[in-house]
Chains A and B, each alone.
Chain A
Amino acid sequence: MATSFKQIEEKLKTEAAKLLESGSVSLVLAYGKGYDEKHPMPYVAKCASDVANIVFNEFCTYNMARYLVRYPRGTKIAVAVKAADSRAVIQLIQEEKVKREDLVILGIPVSGMKNPKTGETIDSKTTCGLYNPVLYDVLLGEEVHGQPVVSPYDVLAGYEAMDKDARWAFWQKEFDRCIRCYACRKACPMCYCDPCFIDQTKPKWGDKSPEPAGNLMYHLTRFHHLAGRCIDCGECSRACPVDIPLYLFHKKVAKECEEMFGQAAGMSIEDKPALVNFRVDDSDKILE
């Protein structure tokens, strides 16, 4: 029997209070109240008295690993992570943005999270489909048994059936809607570049106003920058106000990387980031 959301919330509060009181961390990245129950918000507890504001329910989809890189190196942080979120933490450790020893990872085993916008249950269609965190110090509940029967890449079947021209047309159409709010970039735990290439002026990689060419440049380059790094939490797609299915492209690239390099992003802190690490046995498929 899976642990209920309320039980997780209680455990999260207890652990956060314990960590903050003992001083072993200076902040806890978790979830707090929004304007209603369906819209919780990212929340940072900085002292024991903040803990009361922590909530956890089925709408707490945000990937709190996103906020790890905001604090100076060496800050002791506790972070509440669900399955995919923990992969983001691992990926950030691999990329040496954070150190394992500076983190207390509060793992949340959970299934049945819901998209706050649509109310739909989130599954492996838009995320990596895992229920249990890959890495944690404290597990806030019992492991969820019975992993999803479908692979996170099954959703690609329709996309992969399209030929080159159809895919091009598909993305052109999707990106035409983009209003360049950059919510995808803001939600993404791996998008930590400051400045982002698209904000630069020398060289100017793409137009900054929402027009087709600049939209393509922004999104295609972002996909490229996330190759082998995207941990498939699906937050970009949920953050998108115009519902561009960004997860499709990310999944496609992730699948190819996994096939080529035999490693999925953020699954082990011993791994090295696939695309900037040379191994003698690396696949040469890309050259063929």
Chain B
Amino acid sequence: MSRIGVFVCHCGLNIAKTVRVSELAEFAATLPDVVVAKDYKFMCSTPGQEMIANDIKEHRLDRVIVTACSPLMHEQTFRKVLAASGLNQYLLSIVNIREQVSWVTHDIEEGTAKSKALLNGAVNRARLLAPLTSRVIDVNPDVMVVGAGIAGIQAALELANTGKKVYLVEKNSTIGGHMAQFDKTFPTLDCSACILTPKMDNVLQHKNITLMTSCEVTEVKGFVGNFDITVKQKARYVDHDKCNACLACTEKCPGKGVSEWDEGLVKRKAIYIPFPQAVPQKPVIDRDACTYFIKGKCRLCEKVCEQKAIDFEQQDTSTTVKVGAVIVATGYDLMDTKPLLQYGYGRYPGVYNALEVERLFNSAGPTGGKVTLRDGREPQAIAIFHCIGSRDKNNYEHCSRVCCMYSLKFAHLFKEKTSADVYQFYIDMRAAGKGYEEFYNRIIEEDVKFIRGKGARVAESADEPGRLIVEAEDTITGKFIKLPVDMVVLSPAMKPRADSKDIARLFNLSTDKYGFFMERHPKLAPLSTMSEGIFIAGVCQSPKDIPDTVAQAYGAAAEALTIVVKDKLELEATTAMVNPASCCACLNCVRVCPYGAPFFNEQKGVSEINEALCKGCGLCASVCPSSAIIARHFTNDQVLAEMEGLMEF
């Protein structure tokens, strides 16, 4: 005989508007073994918790059912109430009548009926719940940061400054990310390099940071507190331990590659450092551009290298790194605007994307900071198109958040560096941020022309060869505009990295439909993910500007610290175990486990489960044909009893 207490939460009106909560409590009271059933406005509040604690004592409850929101939200809250009342915390069962009932119906009859069915099942299962003991594990104190743009750099520095060892993994040959490509940053117009490069150097010099450039994560094993991460070091063909960065090789190299850093506007050598302030400031060989790798002859770099650092035989290598927590900060790509044929990007030399224009402004860029067109002319009229692919149901529905502001910045810089007329084609001006509206007002004063209407088309001018005609509807005057310009700047949508879904799979992250990583909770856990111990920061989560990215990096560092600062971590007791007498050694469990917890014991001829690795997901139990695997807290008996309870309705 169990003594079950049922506590029904109204969640304000969240639940109460589509579930008759008092009727549900009355119904619960009629169920066998239920000795007390109550409803209350906010069960998670202090008075709500006290009510449960008092009833546990008063009615000598040995099982507690809370009928409220998702267990993700408040299971921990209520478990603490049980523990404080001297009851094993696993004798709690949560029935989710918010996300699974009240939020998915408008019909109070249906809502109440489904809640009753769920509760009936939960009472059936609660009788069979068993007390469990949590496990305690050691925590690895190190952290890995994946992606070394401004978010990754900032997070790594923060963690390293607290004394934690940080592995900073970057797939490119230099750190810095997109921010290193910018010239000025809005709204203060301070120089991007001036604020970024000191941080890059700090990373290189920091004794607690192990910098891993030209590296990619290929496998993630383990769990919060104890990740085993395999990192592939891609062959650089230059031994960075020997190289003294004299760069004689880059002078002699006859190979021609496309400069990624200059957005393809210029060529670079096949052995190269991406830009003068790159970190590490040591060259790598681009295999696809190297004459030796293409034709089998050359090796000029090898001849001029006094340090004998060139190594054409270098291979990709793999290392395994053990860390306690991970921050993923892999950033973004710009949408490819070539498929949007109406804008002529890639066809008309006068059409640029935003990152290319960033490079034109930059004194270290292909034009030395002068704004000239591809044919060397200085533009006389420039159109800036906002929202290309963003806020567009056919491409990306989201607002990319930074384009309005950088377009204003571009306008300012065009005005400063040329005598051109500058036209902004916008849908709405979005200037929400500290000092942003002020910046907008300042640019209005600078004789920039604002046309409220999305740029519709770019065509070649029939009358003046080399010029472009832009078309748009001015939605304020309602007139169609045709405007001759020399240069069109597209502000393409920010999209997740092309390989973001692979990264998501590696780290067990969820993504939205475009591939941006999902946070655990949009408001209350914006940097955590559904994978414990894995955090996200920066644009890999959603488009944002540098201030927000940096703020997230600090936050993610703090989040990671909450894990690695502890010596020990309490793990869920809800793991799986094998009953060896029933195991038929089909190895299904070994194959399906995403955490590598089950293994085959050759000697005994049965599967066993490494409980330290088990997350209690129950996959193994569900594929076990002979029911040899018992998922604690979700045993077959418990689940079947719950299902029977459900099916009585």
Contact = CB atoms under 8 A, between A and B. Distances in A.
A200 interface: yes
Nearest to A222: B625
14 contacts: A96-B587, A97-B586, A192-B586, A193-B584, A193-B626, A195-B582, A197-B625, A200-B626, A203-B627, A203-B637, A273-B588, A276-B591, A277-B591, A278-B592
Contacts of A273: 588, 591
Interface residues of A, number: 22
Contacts of A277: 591
B43 to A, nearest CB: 33
Give the contact-size bracket for chain B.
Answer: 10 to 19
Interface in B613-631: 623, 625-627
A200 B630 CA distance: 14
Nearest to A276: B591
A196 B505 CA distance: 35
B346 interface: no
B586 A200 contact: no
A38 interface: no
Given A194-B626, A195-B582, A272-B591, 12 more contacts: A73-B602, A73-B605, A95-B587, A96-B587, A192-B584, A193-B626, A197-B625, A203-B627, A273-B588, A276-B592, A277-B591, A278-B592
Contact of A276 (B600, B605, B623, B627): B623
Interface string A179-195: 00000000000001111
Interface string A264-282: 0000000011011110100
B636 interface: yes
A208 interface: no
A194 B628 CA distance: 10
A157 B524 CA distance: 55
B640 interface: yes
Contacts of B591: 272-273, 276-277
B585 interface: yes
A272 B623 CA distance: 15
A8 B600 CA distance: 39
Contact of A196 (B592, B605, B623, B626): B626
A200 B637 CA distance: 13
Nearest to B593: A276
Interface of B: 505, 582, 584-588, 591-592, 600, 602, 605, 623, 625-627, 636-637, 640
Interface in A154-195: 192-195
A273 B586 CA distance: 11
Contacts of A192: 584, 586
Nearest to B638: A203
A197 B586 CA distance: 13
Query: Which 5 pairs between the two chains have the least Cβ-Cβ distance?
Result: A193-B584, A276-B591, A193-B626, A203-B636, A225-B625
A96 B586 CA distance: 8
Interface in A187-246: 192-197, 200, 202-203, 205, 225
A2 B585 CA distance: 40
B597 to A, nearest CB: 15
Nearest to B605: A73
Contacts of B602: 73
Contacts of A96: 587, 600
A276 B590 CA distance: 9
B625 A202 contact: no
Contacts of A276: 588, 591-592, 623
A225 B637 CA distance: 20
Nearest to A190: B586
Contacts of A97: 585-586
B623 A200 contact: no
Nearest to B635: A203
A200 B582 contact: yes
Contact of B505 (A200, A225, A280): A280
Contacts of B640: 203
A277 B584 CA distance: 19
Interface string A60-89: 000000000000010000000000000000
Contacts of B588: 273, 276
B6 to A, nearest CB: 25
Nearest to B592: A276
A62 B508 CA distance: 46
Interface string A94-108: 011100000000000
A197 B627 contact: yes
A225 B584 CA distance: 13
A205 B505 CA distance: 35
Given A95-B586, A95-B587, A272-B591, A195 B637 contact: no
Nearest to A202: B637
A278 B588 CA distance: 12
B627 A200 contact: yes
A195 B626 CA distance: 6
Q: Indicate the member of A96, A193, A197, A202 with the most B CB atoms within 10 Å.
A: A193
B644 to A, nearest CB: 11
A273 B592 CA distance: 11
A88 to B, nearest CB: 14
Contacts of A225: 625
A203 B588 CA distance: 20
Given A203-B627, A277-B591, A193 B586 contact: yes
A276 B637 CA distance: 24
A74 to B, nearest CB: 10
A176 B295 CA distance: 74
Contacts of A280: 505
A197 B626 CA distance: 5
